[in-house]
Amino acid sequence: MNTLLLVFATLSCVSALDINVANTRGNATSRYQYGIMFEDINHSGDGGIYAGLIRNRAFQGSSVRPPTISPWTSLGVAALSLKNLPLPLSSALPTSLNVASSNGTIGISNPGYWGIDASKDKYAGSFWVKGDYTGIFEVQLWNYLSNTTVGSAQVESNATNTEWKEHAFELVPDNAPGNVNNTFALTLEDYAEISCKKVNGSLDLHLISLFPPTYNDRPNGMRIDLMEILKDLRSSFLRFPGLIEYLHWCDDLDMEPALAVWAGFYLSGPVLTPEALQPYINDALAELEFITGPVSSPQGALRASLGYPNPWAIRYVEVGNEDNLGGGGSSYETYRFQLFKDAINKKYPEIAVFASTSDYDFLEQAQYTRPDYFVGQFGFFDDWTPGFRTMIGTLQGGGADWKAARLAFPYWIGTAAEAVFLIGAERNADKIWGAAYWAPDLISFSADISVDVLSTSYHAIQLLSTHRISTTLPIASPAFGPAYYVAGYSNETGSYLLKTAVYNSTEPVSMSVMFEGVGEGAEGTLTVLTASGVTAYNNVGVDVVRKGVVDVVAGSEGLFVFELPDLSVSVLEIKA
């Protein structure tokens, strides 16, 4: 902790700030100022926002990370093995789980992700079977603390040895155990019921799923608690690499999809020649046709066959991600980006194509850094070219010292520094398309929805995002440090806004604020976020962020006078 304090900038002495805001000559902002950057890391997807409760339901893998049975375990006398059958469930899912025995009850068990939450709700599930079996499958949730079955359902088999058959079920627990110490089990009746020995006394299983109620009741949908938390951010876009589930996510939270496509390179991987790159360019074009194409197109027809006849709109595509890292910069700048961009815009001229490095007109800028450096980047975009050409595609500070161990939860000092940087980006709103926070560090979660933790940064991002500036407004002779601010007007609420972050001040900052055209008696609110300490952080059951909201009234000549404490993030909103 002392090491972190040593990197702080010299504390700033302060005097009263006179902020005079004009009501004309501002710059219009994009409508995408705040968004979310998502990647499936730290179980943020599987085990996280994706509501599926079964871990390793599809036995997927690669030559680098081969498929595994774990964490599945056998029940009874079952012998488990993975097989690649001549007739797989699909070419994309070639590996299935073989369950074999000569006699007795057999089955499989799965612990989920850190347990399975069981409540008195309707759970939906399914599994696919290949093999001859004329008996009954039983599915159940079992609490291993009380050694009792929480809920169960029986499914009559329609399995055959000639093709894969889906078995769907609903399960409503009889009681809620009040903990997540539950496992999922799938069992068969006595093995004598397996009627055909042509399959060597075994069955093959695949895509074993169990879902609680999901957000907007979507089949195979998203986790309700996490989606509601993200909804409260009012994010305008989602930067993601994926398809249907992510597009539904955008639909449900009214976000613009910013689709990332693979650029033919992974960290420290081989550099592909332009000729070898073509199959991956074709993949990107096929993906775009799958999403946006009419049902008369080959990929649009495939989408429709999967139950999605209506296309989605894609207006923004990013080629790659941080391609300047791991030896990818030269090939990206020489030919990889341009080959992708030319091919995409030839077929889709209306799509804005972002680069993942800083040497292009439309680019994605990533920022992971320590608090002091974030504050030093306040004016980073001041001299950049106007035109909504830059997406801050990844943003996360949290107080991390790269030489120290990764923090379990972001510190408040990092949150305040992130706010300084974001306010600097908002000042340059004619250049910045939008900024996305790295979602895996925004919310911490487990199987138990009652212990979700919103990071300190969540509260600051929410405050800034829910007070949208439509047009920035000039400030006469601004002076920055230790207070950093931006002023503007909101078309949505008809309000003037002043967003401020204070970083490393020796005393509270006195603010005297005037908005041109706003007179004495004008009313508004001042919302201020602080925390209990420099290195304070939110944890399970502990929220260190303090939110104060006070009514303010303009004095003589429309002057608003107030003080802001050190390491605070605030929004002054005045009704015009």
Question: How many residues in total does the chain contain?
Answer: 576
Question: Which H or E run contains 346?
Answer: helix 337-347
Tokens of 159: 């399995």
H, E, C per residue of 448-485: CHHHCEECHHHHHHHHHHCCCCCEECCECCCCCCCEEE
Whole-number Å distance between alpha carbons of 248 and 256: 11
Query: Which pLDDT score, from 0 to 100, does residue 397 have?
Result: 64
Find, among 372, 352, 349, 371, the residue nearest to 360 by Cα. Answer: 352
Q: How many degrees, rounded to 5, is the angle at CA 572 between CA 568 and CA 573?
A: 150
Find, among 377, 267, 281, 284, the residue nearest to 322 by Cα. Answer: 267
Whole-number Å distance between alpha carbons of 123 and 52: 10
Find, among 493, 494, 496, the residue nearest to 514 by Cα. Answer: 496
Tokens of 475: 């400030």
From residue 171, give the alpha-carbon distance in Å to each of 15, 46, 154, 291, 331. Answer: 65, 21, 9, 33, 53
Query: Which pLDDT score, from 0 to 100, does residue 363 have?
Result: 56
Q: Give me the CATH topology for the region 34-45+220-467.
A: TIM Barrel (3.20.20)
Whole-number Å distance between alpha carbons of 244 and 259: 12
Q: Give me the CATH topology for the region 73-213.
A: Jelly Rolls (2.60.120)
Q: Helical H runs in 155-297?
A: 224-231, 244-253, 274-292
Q: What residues have CB less than 8 Å from 302, skipping those under 6 apart?
A: 290
Contact between residue 263 and residue 336 where contact means Cβ atoms under 8 Å apart: yes
Query: Which pLDDT score, from 0 to 100, does residue 449 have?
Result: 94
Q: What residues have CB less than 8 Å from 25, skipping those under 6 apart?
A: 473, 474
Q: What is the pLDDT of residues 107-123, one digit of tens each?
A: 999 999 999 999 999 99
For tokens 């055909």, name the residue.
Answer: 196
Find, among 97, 66, 93, 60, the residue nearest to 82 by Cα. Answer: 97
Q: Give the number of other Cβ atoms within 10 Å of residue 101's Cβ.
A: 19
Q: Helical H runs in 363-431?
A: 371-376, 412-427
Question: Residue 366: is it exposed, middle or buried by C-beta count within 10 angstroms (0-12/13-18/19+)?
Answer: buried
From residue 99, give the alpha-carbon distance in Å to each of 54, 78, 164, 203, 204. Answer: 17, 6, 15, 5, 6
Query: Which pLDDT score, from 0 to 100, does residue 404 have?
Result: 67
Query: Which pLDDT score, from 0 to 100, does residue 396 have?
Result: 66
Domain residue limits, the chain: 2-28+473-575, 34-45+220-467, 73-213
DSSP letter for 555, please. Answer: -
Which is it for strands 237-240 and 256-261: parallel, antiparallel or unpaired?
A: parallel
Find, among 199, 225, 206, the residue nearest to 214 by Cα. Answer: 225
**Backbone phi and psi for residue 280, each to the nearest 5 degrees, phi listed first:** -80, -30
**Backbone phi and psi for residue 458, each to the nearest 5 degrees, phi listed first:** -55, -45
Q: What is the pLDDT of residues 365-382, one digit of tens each?
A: 666 678 888 899 999 899
Give pLDDT tens digits along the chain (576 positions). Answer: 333 322 333 445 456 799 999 998 899 999 899 999 998 888 999 999 999 999 999 999 888 889 999 999 999 888 999 999 999 999 999 999 999 986 777 899 999 999 999 999 999 999 999 998 888 999 999 999 999 999 999 999 999 999 999 999 999 999 889 999 999 999 986 544 443 333 347 899 999 999 999 999 999 999 999 999 999 999 999 999 989 999 999 999 999 999 999 999 887 788 899 999 999 999 999 999 999 999 999 999 999 999 999 999 999 999 998 888 888 888 999 999 999 999 999 999 999 999 988 666 655 566 667 888 889 999 989 988 888 678 887 776 655 455 666 677 789 999 999 999 999 999 998 999 999 887 767 899 999 999 999 999 999 999 999 999 999 999 999 999 999 999 999 999 999 999 999 999 999 999 999 999 999 999 999 999 999 999 999 999 999 999 999 999 999 999 999 999 999 999 999 998
Amino acid at 99: V
Query: Which pLDDT score, from 0 to 100, does residue 360 have?
Result: 64
User: May I ask the CATH class of domain 2-28+473-575?
Assistant: mainly beta
